[in-house]
Structure 1
Amino acid sequence: MAQKVTWEEIGQKGFNNISPAYKSNGHIFTAGNVGLDPVTNELPEDVEQQTINALENLKNLLEKSGSSLDRVMKVLLFISDRASGPIVNKVYAKYFPHSPARTCVMVQFPDEAFKVELEAIAEYDE
């Protein structure tokens, strides 16, 4: 049976109507992680820092849920501007040297200040 991961469990501010993740059958399925600063909950202007923050938020979520970045099997990445691709890829490569499967989609976020969002599927030990 699927187990909900709560914002309280991972120690992050979240959204009432969105769960940060669900765990089921040895896998964690995360919601989208954006570039909000994990301490201040503020959004930096530049895509590099937003990417770092999003990946740090994902790392925290996975570690508090019994997994880690090196157990990520699939990433779905959303970016708002094609020109930011090389910057995002440079940061991404530092966090995922094992190169999990990935899809990258260019989108228009409801709030134009957001430049990157990512979700992941990772393994964990039940």
Structure 2
Amino acid sequence: MSDQQIIFTKNAPAAVGPYSQAIKTPNMIYCSGQIPLTPEGELVEGSITAQTEQACKNAKAVLEEAGSELAKVVKTTIFISDMAHFAELNAEYEKWFSHKPARSCVAVKTLPKNVDVEIEVIALP
């Protein structure tokens, strides 16, 4: 475990379970899924645009704490509550990930706190 570092920042919401915000290895950073919670734990409700923006802000904060940045993201996984949100989500997502990392997007029945989006990222250090 010595080559793995647990990442924690107060600039993103704390993990709500037995997991880390991210794990940094010498070659990769694995970020846990980010939902639209503020760093203070307040839920961002409303449009998928607003929720996606907050999830991306959280991912950015975690990566920065790990010494990386969104431009170094190589893979994202997005969970959304309804594929009807796909186009609106993409419009906001594109602002944060213009370098077009590999991506999966899956509609799921329920997400934590009944939000509409969760985004996890894998990035280079």
With the length of structure 1 as denominator, give the TM-score of the two structures.
Answer: 0.88
Pairing 1:2–2:43 present? no
Which ranges of structure 1 fall in alignment gaps of 5 or more residues? none
Give how far 1:112 is off.
6.5
Partner of 1:81: 82
Runs of 4+ in 1 over 4 A off after TM superposition: none
Q: Give the secondary-structure state (helix, strand or coil) at the position aligned to 1:34.
A: coil
Pairing 1:13–2:13 present? yes
Give how far 1:20 is off.
0.5
Q: Is the CA contact (8 Å cut-off) linking 2:13 and 2:37 kept in structure 1?
A: no
Pairing 1:67–2:62 present? no
Question: 1: distance between equivalents of 2:70 and 2:44?
Answer: 22
Give how far 1:84 is off.
0.3
The AA in structure 2 aligned to 1:69 is L
The AA in structure 2 aligned to 1:19 is S
Give how far 1:111 is off.
4.8
The AA in structure 2 aligned to 1:3 is Q
Q: Give the secondary-structure state (helix, strand or coil) at the position aligned to 1:104.
A: strand
What is the alpha-carbon root mean square deviation over aligned residues? 1.6
Structure 1 residues 98, 110: closer, same or farther in 2, change over 3 A? closer
Partner of 2:109: 108
Q: Is the CA contact (8 Å cut-off) linking 1:45 and 1:113 kept in structure 2?
A: no
Question: 2: distance between equivalents of 1:74 and 1:115?
Answer: 20
Instruction: Give the length in aligned residue pairs.
Output: 121
Question: 2: distance between equivalents of 1:44 and 1:118?
Answer: 16
Give how far 1:43 is off.
2.8
Counting aligned pairs with the same residue, the percent is 34
The AA in structure 2 aligned to 1:13 is P
Q: Give the secondary-structure state (helix, strand or coil) at the position aligned to 1:73.
A: strand
Give how far 1:13 is off.
3.4
Which ranges of structure 2 fall in alignment gaps of 5 or more residues? none
